[in-house]
Structure 1
Amino acid sequence: MQVILEDIRNIIAQSRERVARSVNHERSVAYWQIGRRLVEDEQEGKERAVYGKKLVKDLSVHLQKEFGTGFSANNLWLMRQFYLSYPILHAVSGELTWTHYKILIRLDDPQKREFYIAESIKNAWSVRQLERQINSLLYDRLLLSQDKESVLAIARGEALPNKAQEIIKDPTILEFLGLKPQAAYYESDLEQAIITHLQEFLLELGNGFSFVARQKRIILGGDEFKIDLVFYNRLLQCFVLFDIKIDKITHQDLGQLQMYVNYYDREVKAEFENPTIGVLLCADKNDVVVRYSLPENNGQIFASKYQLHLPTESQLKAEVRKELDKFSGED
């Protein structure tokens, strides 16, 4: 009885999901076609284009009476922009809803739109998750550590990340924790907030991460140490260790994290797994100190500043300039 009941439940749930996807896709296709019709009407001549605004306003009055508030003047303009952003109908995915597309068409850069579409489909992002990733400038932050083609290739599923730089973000955005930047809190408070908001933290970390342990206890020569957070990344096939510092990090902090990474490489990881990655999640850092504290060919230890608020474009540009200055000889 229980087995057949579960099977029938699954059949019904999958059917409803397919119906919902179909309805969402048909709605998006209809809105794309409306957008195309509006653009075609404008292209009939300059005189027609002049009356474009009045036409949309008049159309919305009639359509709202007949079909409801979804056909307001603002939404009709969005449908027009939808067509202009995706002039080929084949590019409109049935995996995304009209609400997803309303957010995506705000982006002027076609490659940026392509990235967020691919990631939304691959990770089944909700509308809220998509909006959060755009607001946290995910695409731009990834470009700090790799080139545009690599970012797009990984998003499309044409390539897999094969080095830590492709998955470790700097800065790491933790606005979802609800902690105030100026408030007094301990490292344990930040760690607890991350655990409480683990789903959001995994979203920020990106593809392939799974939680393993908190305050992982290890004994070295009779001395006890605890690693704040342990994750595993299935794409890179390696452990990723996080050490949390609410102050500016020192070379001693980097040395301690290196010790944790060495321990995992020698005592925990299997032969088929790749070298362990260590990330110092810190409130502040001196990039020059970090660089000289680590080997020149370092590919395992990283320092990532965390932010308790969403970044602005000017903040991100400042981060880009810092990255460029690292190798300019000006430090």
Structure 2
Amino acid sequence: MLVNQSIIKDIKAIIDQSRDKAIRAVDHERTQMYWHIGKRIFEEEQQGKDRADYGTFLIKYLSEQLQPEFGSGFSTRQINLYRQFYRTFENVHTLYAQLSWSQYKLLLSVDSQDKREFYIAETIKNNWTVRQLERQIYSSLYERLLLSNDKESVLAVARNEKQPSDAKEIIKDPMYLEFLGLKREASYYERDLESAIITHLQEFLLELGNGFSFVARQKRIHIEGDEFFVDLVFYNRILQCFVIIEIKTTKLTHQDIGQLQMYVNYYDRIEKLPHENPTIGILLCANKNDGVVKFTLPEEQKQIIASQYKLYLPTEKQLLDEVNKELDIFEEKDGTNDIK
């Protein structure tokens, strides 16, 4: 007797979905438990706040009483973590079911409420895994977006309170491509970097930002008998436009900018539909001179963006130095320190 084989596929999908829901439900209950434990510890500390070192004594005492029965989840380190969890999210009425305990632990390392709100909103919106959230925090996505945008815009876009109207609101400079696994001391041909990006396309889309989808590699275009090849073509559904990426492994020149401008013009005049927005061109380069970019392009243009790529994540000190340098420049221009 013949059986429709799709039934096996359907039942397996039902089982997998149910398992995932059960795991998420259990994890959410565990997260709620840790929050309430932290709350109870904090309340007890407040009653004994006049006694020196009472908090330290309390944590140690709780661990001695709970760990033999409930295991290593109640070591002094873990109990301290539950207390910190409650203190960090003390004003949250409902913990987000979309976030796992592992993601909440990562968020405890984020040192400001604005940054935490940003990463929470982006995690929920993009359904980031723990690994993806970790990578975005350690690559300082929030700070990198702040370098070309104000804090309110960055948070509003993350919360879906506004749609980005300018490519610079979502495209980062620099872009970190450490996931490609290329050694920074080696020299590469442009095709090597392009091939590595295609191999790690999912990670590259994550680094590009929200709303990107891949369209073509080495897209051939004909202009009155001449052939040209565009390195990478994407589409952004949020900005509703094509995004062309040209890769340059050497220092950026004005000729490179002119070539990309030609590709952008071609897509605007040939490929773009009437309801779509103007094409965006990104020059992904190893080294760039912002002055060359500025004087090669018309003032106030928003279609061509030069973004430097780096093959490794910076140290924390390097990143903080760079961010602080840029923030100081903004303060000098604005006469304020509102973005800190």
Return the alpha-carbon distance in structure 1 between the equivalents of residues 100 and 124 of structure 2. 11
Q: Note if contact 2:241-2:276 (Cα within 8 Å) is conserved in structure 1.
A: yes
Contact 1:32 1:89 in 2 (8 A): no
Aligned residues: 328
Which residue number corresponds to residue 168 of structure 1?
171
| Equivalent residue, structure 2, for 1:264 | 267
Partner residue in 2 for 1:40: 43
Name 1:13's counterpart in structure 2.
16
Name the residue aligned to 1:113: 116
1:87 counterpart = 2:94? no
Contact 2:39 2:83 in 1 (8 A): yes
Which of 223, 227, 240 is 1:224 aligned to?
A: 227
Q: Please report the TM-score for the alignment, with normalisation by the length of structure 2.
A: 0.91
Residues 107-128 of structure 1: CA distance to partner in whole angstroms, max 9, x if unpaired? 1200100000111111111111
| 1:143 is the counterpart of 2:150 | no
Q: Give 1:54 deviation, angstroms.
A: 2.5
Distance 1:320 1:257, change over 3 A: farther
Q: Is the CA contact (8 Å cut-off) linking 2:48 and 2:54 kept in structure 1?
A: no
Checking the alignment, whether the CA contact within 8 Å between 2:147 and 2:323 is kept in structure 1 is no
Q: Is the 8 A contact 2:245 2:283 kept in 1?
A: yes
Write the distance in 2 (CA, Å) between the matches of 1:166 and 1:114: 17
Which ranges in structure 1 are unaligned for 5 or more consecutive residues?
none
1:295 to 295, 298, 304: 298
Q: Please provide the CA RMSD for this pair.
A: 1.9
Q: Contact 1:43–1:49 at 8 Å: present in 2 too? A: no
Corresponding residue of 2:324: 317
Overall identity of the aligned pairs, in %: 62
Tell me how far 1:64 sits from its aligned partner: 2.1
| Aligned counterparts of 1:214 and 1:286: Cα–Cα separation in 2 | 27
| Other structure's SS at 1:46 match | coil
Once residues 106 and 186 of structure 2 are traced to their aligned partners in structure 1, the CA distance between those partners, rounded to angstroms, is 33
Tell whether 2:191 aligns with 1:188. Answer: yes
Q: Which residue of 2 aligns with 1:29?
A: 32
1:209 lines up with 2:209 in the alignment: no
- Relative to structure 2, which stretch is displaced further, 137-146 or 155-164? 155-164
Give the alignment partner of residue 154 of structure 1, picking from 157, 182, 195: 157
Q: Contact 2:172–2:307 at 8 Å: present in 1 too? A: yes
Report the AA paired with residue 190 of structure 1.
Answer: L
Q: Does 1:197 align with 2:197?
A: no
The answer for unaligned runs of 5 or more in structure 2 is 336-340
Separation in structure 2 between the aligned mates of residue 226 and residue 327 of structure 1, nearest angstrom:
42
Describe the SS at the equivalent of 2:47.
coil
Q: Is the 8 A contact 2:123 2:133 kept in 1?
A: yes
Give the structure 1 partner of residue 129 of structure 2: 126
Q: Could you give the per-residue CA deviations for residues 201-231 of structure 1, whole angstroms, max 9, x where no partner exists?
A: 0110111101111111112122221111111
Q: Secondary structure at the match of 2:172?
A: coil
Equivalent residue letter for 2:320: E
Q: How big is each residue's C-alpha offset from its partner over 1:35-70, in whole Å with a ceiling of 9 and x where there is no partner?
A: 111111110133446222122123223322111212
In the alignment, the residues of structure 2 paired with residue 19 and residue 294 of structure 1 have an alpha-carbon distance, to the nearest angstrom, of 55
Match among 247, 250, 257 for residue 244 of structure 1: 247
Q: Tell me how far apart the structure 1 counterparts of residues 60 and 76 of structure 2 sit (CA, whole Å).
A: 5
Asked if structure 2 preserves the Cα contact closer than 8 Å seen for 1:29 and 1:89, the reply is no
In 2, Cα distance between the equivalents of 1:299 and 1:250? 19
Give the TM-score normalised by structure 1.
Answer: 0.94
Alpha-carbon distance between aligned partners in 1 of 2:79 and 2:161, rounded to the nearest angstrom: 35
* Cα distance in 2, alignment partners of residues 307 and 75 from structure 1: 36
State the one-letter code of the partner of 1:271: P
Distance 1:284 1:327 in 2: 28
In 2, the alpha carbon distance for the partners of 1:187 and 1:265 equals 25
Distance 1:305 1:151, change over 3 A: same
